[in-house]
Amino acid sequence: MILELRDVYRTHGTGAAAVHALRGVALGVRPGELVAVMGPSGSGKSTLLNLAGGLDRPTQGGVYVEGKLLGELSKRQLAALRRRSVGYVFQDLNLLPSLTAAENVALPLELDGMGVRKARRLAVSALDEVGLADLGPRFPDDMSGGQQQRVAIARALVGDRRLVLADEPTGALDSQTGEAVLRLLRARVDAGAAGVLVTHEARHAGWADRVVFLRDGVVVDTSGPLAQAEELLEPVP
C-alpha cells in the first residue's frame, strides 16, 4: 500500500463554527492503482488530497505514505518525503516563468540536493515521456496550455515518485488534450506508481480503477474494481 488513510477526520475551526471537512475516511491505494475521488464542491475532496500529500494534517486518524505515518515525521523529513515520493499536478500549474521547461522539471530534484547535471538528465527523460522531448529549452510563456500542462506533469513524475496526486489536472484543456493528460497519468500508474485523481468530471474519473464518491466528508459509495473488459465483448443473448 503506497497511500493509506486510516479513519481520517479533518475539522476546521471549533465549537459551533466547526466545519467537518472529512469524517472518518478510510482509503488505500496500491502500486499500479489509480483511484478517482468525485464529489461536489465542499465534499472534502481537496482536503483529502492535501492530507495525502502531507500539505495538511488530520484532526484525527493517520495518513501513511509508503508505510510512514506522516504525523510522526519531523518537518524536514516530511519535506524530503514530499519532494522525493510525492508528485503533484494541480489545476494551477505553478510553472516558474523565468525557468525553461527542463529547469522547471529539474527544480524539485535540485532542491533535493541532486547534482545539476543528473537532475537535468532526468528532467529531459521526463519531458520525453510526456512527448515534449524537444521543448526542454523553451519558456512556459512560449508554450500552449496543453504543453504547459504536460510540463507540470513531467515535473510531478520526474525521478522515482511512487505517489502521484492530481487535482483537476486537465484544467481548461479541450477534450483531446485533456485525454492525453489522463493517458499519461494512467501510463505512469500502470508502470507502478499509485495515483489519486480528484475531479468532478465523470469522463476523467473513467480512467481510474476505482472511483470513490465523497459527500459531506464521508465516502458514500465506491465503484470498482473493474470486470474484465473482454466480458463487454461477449454477445448479448
Partner 1 sequence: MSIRHGLLALLERGPMYGYQLRAAFEESTGTTWPLNIGQVYTTLSRLERDGLVRPLPENDGGQRPYEITDPGRSELAQWFATPISRTDRPRDELAIKLALALTTPGVDVRAVVQSQRTATMRALQEYTRLKSRETGTPDLPWRLVLDAMIFQAEAEIRWLDHCEASLMRYPPPPPKTTPAPAPDPEHSEVTHS
HEC profile of 48-98: HHHHHCCCCCCCEEEEEECCEEHHHCCHHHHHHHHHHCEEEECCCCCCCCC
Give Cα 169 distance to the centre of its chain. 8
Stretch that binds partner 1, among 8-16, 23-31, 95-103, 227-235 (CB under 8 A): 227-235
* Ranges within 169-198 binding partner 1 (CB under 8 A): 183, 186
Stretch that binds partner 1, among 54-62, 66-74, 117-125, 219-227 (CB under 8 A): 219-227
- For residue 118 the three cell numbers come to 543528473
Contact call for residue 205 and partner 1 (CB under 8 A): yes
Choose between 129 and 209: whose C-beta lies nearer to partner 1.
Answer: 209
Count CA atoms within 13 Å of residue 200 on its CB side. Answer: 12
CB of 187 to partner 1, least distance (A): 9
Given 211, 214, 217, 219, the residue binding partner 1 (CB under 8 A): 211
**Which ranges in the chain belong to alpha helices (H)?**
45-52, 75-84, 101-111, 116-129, 145-157, 175-190, 202-205
Contact call for residue 223 and partner 1 (CB under 8 A): yes
Contact call for residue 229 and partner 1 (CB under 8 A): yes
Count CA atoms within 13 Å of residue 20 on its CB side. Answer: 13
> Rounded distance, CA 49 to CA 82, Å?
13
Binding mask 130-169 for partner 1 (x = CB under 8 A): ----------------------------------------
- For residue 139 the three cell numbers come to 519558456
Contact call for residue 30 and partner 1 (CB under 8 A): no
Binding residues for partner 1 (CB under 8 A): 38, 40, 183, 186, 201-203, 205-209, 211, 213, 220-224, 226-227, 229, 232-233, 235-236
